[in-house]
Structure 1
Amino acid sequence: MTEWTAFSVDISDHVAQVTLLGPGKGNAMGRAFWTELPQVFAELDADPEVRAVVLAASGKHFSFGLDLAEMGGDFAPLLAERALAGPRSRFHTLVKSMQASVTAVADSRTPVIAAIQGWCIGGGVDLIAAADIRYASADAKFSVREAKIGIVADIGSLQRLPAIIGEGHLRELAYTGKDIDASRAASIGLVNDVLDDADAALAAARATAAEIAANPPLVVQGVKDVLDRERAATVTEGLRYVAAWNAAFLPSEDLTEGITAVFEKRPATFRGE
């Protein structure tokens, strides 16, 4: 396997474990993450020995989501006064590229089982929504937090979570940007089970991956393909729409305020401008 910056990959007994490594604090998703994620899954898809993938994370937290410190500059041309077609078009291309990175996980030919500990925020939820099965440690906390920054979530949560947790729960999380704990996540179906700690969550994910890997691989791939087909067109159309929507309407004083508030570690004050 290739050496990666944002991930480590270990393969044994037909199971690949992909582990987020950062390098940003809390495994924040910077440029290396978005570039390498589809490459990692392309290599795994090309390996006939891989029959299941465990998606894990190093450290205390799964992911703080988008690395605003590293990628905030990508928003700057869009927030410039009277941003014209050029910066909007480039931002649209960026969003579609980031969407494609997470879609590579959803489109994996083999099932993906996520093990989540600590915070799983924003892009972290986008990522686990692309997995097939999710296990959480008791200390895990989840947030579809984009609204609190002035952003419409555009990498997959709004498209994939309705089939996982239902419209009502998704609307509550996406409209409020609230945090929920592992118990609530399990009660709404966001995670399959809650384990005592991070090690137990990872062990559960690996045990399920081993069970899957012991089955006929072509049958498992067929089951995944049939299940995914039902919603693939809806997800694709939703991603296309939100990328265009954000390129057109995301620039706002509220977005500037939301990003500034994050760096200044204070509550944002939004004015609808």
Structure 2
Amino acid sequence: MTDRVTIDIQDHVALVTMNRHDKMNALDPDQIDAIIAAGEEVSTTKGVRAVVLTGGPKAFCAGLDMASMANIAQDAQGDGLMPRTHGIANKFQATAMVWAECPVPVIAAINGHTLGGGFQIALGPDMRIAAPDARFSVMELKWGIVPDMGGLHLARRLMRGDILRRLTYTAETFGAEQALHWGVVTEITDDPLARAMELATAIAGKSPDAIRAAKRLISETEQTSPADTLLAESRIQQELIGTANQMEAVMAGLQKRAPNFTD
């Protein structure tokens, strides 16, 4: 891991910080690579039960680094965007999708500018905790392009289609209160990082098997039929019942003590 993105793991919670603060965490090729690498690392690190993704005090991520536009445009020529290099995604889409596909819950702690590609990255986590001064925008049409970093897929989980169309077509900037109203933001608080860590710590106290199963169940059934959703509930529940961590959760609850789970 480079110093572009840092990872600090304590008490089963991984704090991932985009660390290009002098550029408001703007996305150039190295920053894109570092974000993907961080997501892949925490996804495979044993013992991690929750992740907090954040930027700096002035920006979560201000979007594309315009100084890199020429290099990125060159990479996109021909079929440059078409190869699926990261599962169902290309490299640019993986910056957001890596958080959606992380097997444990991810919480974004958001201050300041969250624009363009940065907004799409923020849509990948399970929750978004924003400061009152956070500013958001689906900014791509301002530069004559469309959102192409997984944002359209991820946004459909959160907002109505007409709102998504409005924000995409106009490239307008909107604040935290409006984002909360539209379902983009989960909570607004003066200290998003502290609140995100509080939530992550609460999650990390649960059975790691159940945490992963719950995220898998929710993710798999977001767009499935009622019948398929009910089948998925039964299948995943059957996998959990009677396992060591499930029994430990029951015993700890009955004995009114802290559980001792095995990752």
Question: What TM-score do you get using the length of structure 1 for normalisation?
Answer: 0.76
Asked whether the 8 Å contact 1:65–1:121 carries over to 2, the reply is yes
Counterparts of residues 206-217 of structure 1 (less than 5 Å) = 206-217=197-208
Shift of the alpha carbon at 1:36? 2.0
DSSP-derived class of the 2:61 partner: coil
Please state if 1:18 is matched with 2:8: no
CA distance in 2, matches of 1:33, 1:192: 26
Tell me which of 136, 140, 143 is aligned to 2:137: 143
Aligned to 2:231: none
Aligned to 1:132: 126
DSSP-derived class of the 1:102 partner: helix
Aligned to 1:66: 64
DSSP-derived class of the 1:27 partner: coil
Counterparts of residues 233-272 of structure 1 (less than 5 Å) = none
* Structure with more of its chain in helix, by fraction: 1
Shift of the alpha carbon at 1:23? 6.1
Shift of the alpha carbon at 1:72? 2.6
Question: What TM-score do you get using the length of structure 2 for normalisation?
Answer: 0.78
DSSP-derived class of the 1:114 partner: strand
Please state if 1:119 is matched with 2:119: no
CA distance in 2, matches of 1:101, 1:57: 14
Aligned to 2:45: 47
What is the count of residue pairs matched by the alignment? 220
* Cα distance change, pair 58–100 in 1 and its aligned pair in 2 (3 A): same
Shift of the alpha carbon at 1:35? 1.3
DSSP-derived class of the 1:163 partner: coil
Amino acid at match of 1:142: F
Please state if 1:225 is matched with 2:216: yes
CA distance in 2, matches of 1:68, 1:23: 16
CA distance in 2, matches of 1:77, 1:119: 26
Shift of the alpha carbon at 1:5? 3.2
Shift of the alpha carbon at 1:59? 3.8
* Cα distance change, pair 202–226 in 1 and its aligned pair in 2 (3 A): same
Asked whether the 8 Å contact 1:24–1:67 carries over to 2, the reply is no
CA distance in 1, matches of 2:171, 2:93: 20
Asked whether the 8 Å contact 2:100–2:125 carries over to 1, the reply is yes
CA distance in 2, matches of 1:212, 1:105: 16
Shift of the alpha carbon at 1:231? 4.5
Asked whether the 8 Å contact 2:96–2:122 carries over to 1, the reply is no
Dislocated runs of 4+, deviation >3 Å: 91-95
Aligned to 1:37: 35
Asked whether the 8 Å contact 2:159–2:184 carries over to 1, the reply is yes
Shift of the alpha carbon at 1:183? 0.6
Shift of the alpha carbon at 1:162? 1.4
CA distance in 2, matches of 1:226, 1:62: 28
Q: Per chain length, whose mean CA-contact separation is higher, i.e. which structure has more relative contact order (CA < 8 Å, sep 6+)?
A: 1
Aligned to 1:205: 196
CA distance in 2, matches of 1:38, 1:77: 17
DSSP-derived class of the 2:7 partner: strand
Could you say what the CA RMSD is over the residues aligned between the two structures, in angstroms?
2.0
Aligned to 2:78: 88
Asked whether the 8 Å contact 1:8–1:20 carries over to 2, the reply is yes
Tell me which of 103, 111, 121 is aligned to 1:109: 103
Shift of the alpha carbon at 1:73? 2.5
DSSP-derived class of the 1:103 partner: helix
Amino acid at match of 2:20: G
CA distance in 1, matches of 2:105, 2:167: 26
Amino acid at match of 2:11: D
Amino acid at match of 2:213: G
Which 5+ residue runs of structure 1 have no aligned equivalent? 79-86, 234-273
Asked whether the 8 Å contact 1:55–1:115 carries over to 2, the reply is yes
CA distance in 1, matches of 2:45, 2:104: 11
DSSP-derived class of the 1:108 partner: coil
